[in-house]
């Protein structure tokens, strides 16, 4: 949507890449644009053509579960919002008949004379992001997919859950449309499966299965859901918490097993046969079976590789390295998203930002050339007009409409003072609804707009933009939150939620009557960054900024750059981390745009985006000195350190030299000692993590354990290595190494928290006792070494959280502004986040995140100015008596006292003002007004709040 609005992003949909030639900074791409048979400029997306089109077509957008027509649009929010004709099904294109759509279309947009066209474009950098493909059908057959209609893929189930899906969001069996009572999810279908050559883990299926199961339970609390899995890989930030919620709150059953087959069971539905860890075989009846299909490489991966020259890995995904995770084998071509390896939305979004940083570095010489600055129509002067309010009530699919009586709320504003137009819409934020909004503003000469939908915190900017497009000042909108704060939280009380919505809308309309246009203001930006933390994340971010032409200062607490990476030795793919560190440190030191302050700490930061001032203390004792640094943005990369658990698996950790951590083992294995890989080693995963000392999964420990186990086997093939684990989380391509370790004889034994392994130690030996599920009995062994995977804890995040006013989550890691939409930004504008301080993760993900943070941080630096929100305070100098109460109370030092005609007056420093309004509420003469939150506006809301009670009293 945002991309569709940007004047500097041209979207060529329905297009194929035919060839790519050139070098970094100078590529030529040859494209073929397929005809839509509809003129995009004329199409208003009214949908009349689809209604009249006589031919049926399987709806591929709805996974073939629904019927559409050859002339259609995939979904209402599609960008561009233009219909198209599928030539393979159109009767006119195929047989020269029909053409019913042509006279039906009122805007005469249908054009059968369109032919495919070719086009060449010159670009400086290329980002490849073709997404992922489908796993082959053969992988699904043993579960009766294609034979029984009630066996569906997770993608099909997702469509079933969706309000724009085949049953408008109701989950129904495809066989007889009944509501399924029992649903099973089968994990790892087409993933971790050598049968279809997909030896990797798709990383996202465990989490999406949990999500789909929870949503299905929300739809129908009585349905029973079971998830059959091998290892539950919820390794992402806060994902384990979702799993716990699914189990405890939603009553979803998790069964560790392998499913052998699913067969038709006549009237009973489906029969699912599975085996459990103890070797037992079981079967169970289900109404519906959902196959959690993996993410395959895109179908045309080989074609892309041929045309661009990039190499693919053994699974046909783009080949990249741990140290340069987004760089393909061709310079100037970067990759982002699932084509780089299966991944979820937050990581894909992070990668896309990072790819933009890499591309921006390549084309920086061309910066600001050929760009289009969006211009808006001149603002209509509404100062002398009476309020003409338009009210738009949103269904948000079933999010609001499923609870609140939206048409009723819409009708309730009829006749309210100032309201000249009102309507409801399915999705107010969709592109077509935005067009309708613009049209209605013009048609009814609206000068105030009320949107009753979701939260202004997420969607107000979108609507404000539309207002500007329609020639209105963007402050002439009031959003009423009837989703996040109404339908979602009163899901079981539709009548009360409708009443509440009506009250809130009435209050919104009351405020809207008094809305005033406010002027746009901007402040200049100091074009440099402060990077807190000199580990691999901080250094990568600083180098990426330098690559894009911006200077930065790295503040590192330790005497040496490198952070946690200083203690590591090698990666699972065989990379030498010391080499990486040496290379990156040298580049940082050599780069003229990067200043390094080691042995230094941040003392204080003040200011706001574009204009921060920080005090940094270097050295200690008498040699300590402080310096002040001006900077426009902050990148937080403070890292984490290995956890030192006191208790492991519920018991106090015995003291023994034979008990070491995974990191200590890595250092030992990288050394030269003869006995560095002893004859028997037991590794214990989640020691102190996932419910022990720490509540979360540290994401990289399973991969590290496998990495070290392989190293032991490499040095001493006869060594017996036992890994005790809960869920082995070698997600993505790391799964290959897990398989290799098993082939080499590493023994993997799962344990549960109910019966965890026990550690004993005397001065000479250590003992580990655990339950072996295959033997069905308790085993005690006395290995030469016990290695604990201890997890990671953040470093000093609480302190920094206070200083920069940025939030941390329950586990003390910094909390990003939005997990999916803004994964490397903090809620405080101008502050960005990367590395282990965000959450534990492996090295390649840290590097990508650092590049992404640099991309986001560069945005205000490139623009050179930031816009001030127009809601800042304003002092009416005539009414001000110069008491300076406001200046003394302002927490942001945003009010200065000046002399006007020898009289003391207060004045707002707009760039510092946060619009909190403390000044306005304390001013004894009511001389200060807050843009968008004036006294009369708020009082009008309060009066409107009371209005219904008066009516109620009359009853």
Partner 1 sequence: MSQEYNPKILGFLCNWCCYAAADAAGVSRFQYPPNLRTVRVMCTGRIDPLFVLKGFAAGAAGVFGGG
Which residues in this chain contact partner 1 in the complex, by CB under 8 A?
218, 455-458, 481, 483-486, 488-493, 496-497, 499-500, 503-504, 507, 827, 871, 891, 914-918, 920-921, 930, 933, 935, 938-939, 941-943, 945-947, 949-950
**Radius of gyration over every alpha carbon of the chain, rounded to an integer in angstroms:** 31
Rounded to whole angstroms, how far apart are CA atoms 423 and 463? 16
Rounded to whole angstroms, how far apart are CA atoms 341 and 333? 16
Closest to partner 1 by CB, 207 or 836 = 207
Residues 6+ apart with CB under 8 A from 593: 545, 546, 549, 550, 551, 552
Cβ-contact 512, 504 below 8 angstroms: no
Helix (H, G, I), strand (E, B) or coil at 757: coil
CB of 917 to partner 1, least distance (A): 3
CB of 207 to partner 1, least distance (A): 16
CB of 510 to partner 1, least distance (A): 11
Closest to partner 1 by CB, 98 or 871 = 871
Packing angle of the helix pair 431-443, 456-469 (nearest 10 deg): 50
Closest to partner 1 by CB, 66 or 869 = 869
Closest to partner 1 by CB, 512 or 537 = 512
CB of 501 to partner 1, least distance (A): 10
Closest to partner 1 by CB, 717 or 946 = 946
Helix (H, G, I), strand (E, B) or coil at 550: coil
CB of 696 to partner 1, least distance (A): 18
Give the residue among 277, 294, 336, 278 at the shortest CA–CA distance from 126: 336
CB of 918 to partner 1, least distance (A): 3
Closest to partner 1 by CB, 377 or 946 = 946
CB of 429 to partner 1, least distance (A): 15
Closest to partner 1 by CB, 212 or 735 = 212
DSSP state of 329: S
Q: Which element (helix H / strand E) includes 358?
A: helix 345-362
SS3 assignment for 373-405: CCCCCCCCCCCCCCCCEEEEEECCCCCCCCCCC
Closest to partner 1 by CB, 749 or 915 = 915
- Half-sphere exposure at residue 802, Cβ-oriented, CA atoms within 13 angstroms: 6
CB of 916 to partner 1, least distance (A): 3
Cβ-contact 912, 610 below 8 angstroms: no
Helix (H, G, I), strand (E, B) or coil at 68: strand
Closest to partner 1 by CB, 353 or 929 = 929
Residues 6+ apart with CB under 8 A from 515: 448, 475, 476, 477, 478, 932, 937
Cβ-contact 190, 293 below 8 angstroms: yes
Q: Which element (helix H / strand E) includes 437?
A: helix 431-443
Rounded to whole angstroms, how far apart are CA atoms 757 and 783? 14
Closest to partner 1 by CB, 374 or 820 = 820
CB of 833 to partner 1, least distance (A): 18
CB of 452 to partner 1, least distance (A): 13
Closest to partner 1 by CB, 462 or 744 = 462
What is the DSSP code string of 194-261? GGGTB-S--SSHHHHHHHHHHHHHHH-TT-EEEEEESS----STTHHHHHHHHHHTT--EEEEEEEEE
Closest to partner 1 by CB, 218 or 630 = 218
CB of 464 to partner 1, least distance (A): 15
Rounded to whole angstroms, how far apart are CA atoms 537 and 540? 5
CB of 860 to partner 1, least distance (A): 20
Return phi, psi of residue 562, to 5°.
135, -30
Rounded to whole angstroms, how far apart are CA atoms 344 and 721? 32
Closest to partner 1 by CB, 87 or 456 = 456
Cβ-contact 474, 467 below 8 angstroms: yes
CB of 493 to partner 1, least distance (A): 6
């Amino acid at each position: 949507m945002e991309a569709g609005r940007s004047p500097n992003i041209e979207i060529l949909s329905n297009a194929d890449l035919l060839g790519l030639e050139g070098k970094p900074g100078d590529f030529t791409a040859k494209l073929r644009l397929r005809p839509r048979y509809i003129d995009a400029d004329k199409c208003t997306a009214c949908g009349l053509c689809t209604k009249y089109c006589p031919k049926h077509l399987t709806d591929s957008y709805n996974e073939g579960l629904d019927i559409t027509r050859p002339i259609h649009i995939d979904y209402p929010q599609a960008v561009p919002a233009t219909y198209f004709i599928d030539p393979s099904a159109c009767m006119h294109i195929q047989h020269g008949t029909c053409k019913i759509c042509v006279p039906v279309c009122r805007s005469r947009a249908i054009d059968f004379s369109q032919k495919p066209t070719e086009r060449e474009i010159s670009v400086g950098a290329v980002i490849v992001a073709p997404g992922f493909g489908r796993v082959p059908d053969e992988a699904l057959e043993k579960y009766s997919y294609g034979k029984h209609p009630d066996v569906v893929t997770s993608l099909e189930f997702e469509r079933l859950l969706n309000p724009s899906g085949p049953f408008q969001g109701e989950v129904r069996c495809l066989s007889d449309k009944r509501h399924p009572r029992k649903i099973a999810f089968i994990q790892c279908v087409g993933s971790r499966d050598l049968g279809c050559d997909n030896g990797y883990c798709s990383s996202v299926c465990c989490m999406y299965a949990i999500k789909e199961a929870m949503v299905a339970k929300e739809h129908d609390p009585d349905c029973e859901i079971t998830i059959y899995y091998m290892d539950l890989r919820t390794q992402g930030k806060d994902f384990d918490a979702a799993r716990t919620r699914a189990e405890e709150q939603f009553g979803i059953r998790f069964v560790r097993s392998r499913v052998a087959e699913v067969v038709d069971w006549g009237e009973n539905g489906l029969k699912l046969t599975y085996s459990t860890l103890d070797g037992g075989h079981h079967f169970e009846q289900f109404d519906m079976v959902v196959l959690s299909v993996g993410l395959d490489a895109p179908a045309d991966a080989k074609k892309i590789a041929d045309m661009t020259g990039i190499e693919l890995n053994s699974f046909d995904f783009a080949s990249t390295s741990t140290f340069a995770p987004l760089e393909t084998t061709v310079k100037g071509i970067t990759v982002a998203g699932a084509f780089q390896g299966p991944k979820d939305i937050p990581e894909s979004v992070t990668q896309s930002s990072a790819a933009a940083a890499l591309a921006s570095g390549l084309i920086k010489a061309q910066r600001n050339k050929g760009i289009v600055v969006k211009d808006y129509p001149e603002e209509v002067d509404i100062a002398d007009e009476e309020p003409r309010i338009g009210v738009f009530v949103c269904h948000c699919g079933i999010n609001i409409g499923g609870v609140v009586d939206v048409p009723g709320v819409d009708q309730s504003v009829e006749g309210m003072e100032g309201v000249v137009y009102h309507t409801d819409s399915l999705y107010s934020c969709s592109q077509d609804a935005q067009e309708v909004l613009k049209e209605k503003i013009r048609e009814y000469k609206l000068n105030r707009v009320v949107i009753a939908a979701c939260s202004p915190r997420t969607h107000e900017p979108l609507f404000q933009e539309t207002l500007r497009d329609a020639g209105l000042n963007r402050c002439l909108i009031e959003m009423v939150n009837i989703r996040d704060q109404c339908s979602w939280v009163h899901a079981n009380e539709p009548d009360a939620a409708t009443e509440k919505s009506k009250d809130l809308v009435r209050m919104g309309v009351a405020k809207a009557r008094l809305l005033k246009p406010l002027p746009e203001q901007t402040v200049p930006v100091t074009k440099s960054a402060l990077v807190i933390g000199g580990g691999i994340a901080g250094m990568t971010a600083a180098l990426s900024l330098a690559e894009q032409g911006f200077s930065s200062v790295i503040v590192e607490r330790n005497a040496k750059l490198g952070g946690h990476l200083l203690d590591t030795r090698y990666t699972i793919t065989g990379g030498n981390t010391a080499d990486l560190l040496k290379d990156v440190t040298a580049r940082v030191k050599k780069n003229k745009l990067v200043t390094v302050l080691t042995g230094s700490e941040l003392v204080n930061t003040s200011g706001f985006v574009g204009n921060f001032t920080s005090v940094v203390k270097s050295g200690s004792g008498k040699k300590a000195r402080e310096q002040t640094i001006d900077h426009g943005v902050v990148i937080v990369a403070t890292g984490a350190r290995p956890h030192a658990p006191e208790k492991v698996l519920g018991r106090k950790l015995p003291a023994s030299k034979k008990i070491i951590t995974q990191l200590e083992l890595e250092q030992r294995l990288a050394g030269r000692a003869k006995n560095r890989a002893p004859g028997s080693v037991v590794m214990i995963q989640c020691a102190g993590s996932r419910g022990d000392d720490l509540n979360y999964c540290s994401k990289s420990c399973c991969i590290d354990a496998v990495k070290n186990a392989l190293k032991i086997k490499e040095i001493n093939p006869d060594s017996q290595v036992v890994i005790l684990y809960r869920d082995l989380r070698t997600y993505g391509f790391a799964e290959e190494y897990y398989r290799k370790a098993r082939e080499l004889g590493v023994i993997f034994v799962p344990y549960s928290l109910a019966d965890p392994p026990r550690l004993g130690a005397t001065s000479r030996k250590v003992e580990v006792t655990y339950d072996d599920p295959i033997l069905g009995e308790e085993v005690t062994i006395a290995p030469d070494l016990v290695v604990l995977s201890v997890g990671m804890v953040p470093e000093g995040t609480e302190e920094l959280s206070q200083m920069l006013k940025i939030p941390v989550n329950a586990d003390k890691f910094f909390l990003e502004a939005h997990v999916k939409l803004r994964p490397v930004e903090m809620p405080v504008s101008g502050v960005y986040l990367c590395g282990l301080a965000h959450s534990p993760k492996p090295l390649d993900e840290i590097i990508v995140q650092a590049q992404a943070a640099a991309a986001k941080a560069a945005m205000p630096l490139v623009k050179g100015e930031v816009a001030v929100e127009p809601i800042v305070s304003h002092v009416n100098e005539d009414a001000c008596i110069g008491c300076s109460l406001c200046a003394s109370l302002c927490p942001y030092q945003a009010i200065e006292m000046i002399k006007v005609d020898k009289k003391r007056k207060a004045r707002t420093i707009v760039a510092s003002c946060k619009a909190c309004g403390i000044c306005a509420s304390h001013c004894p003469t009511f001389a200060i007004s807050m843009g968008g939150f004036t006294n009369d506006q708020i009082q009008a809301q309060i009066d409107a709040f009371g209005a219904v009670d008066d009516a109620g009293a009359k009853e």
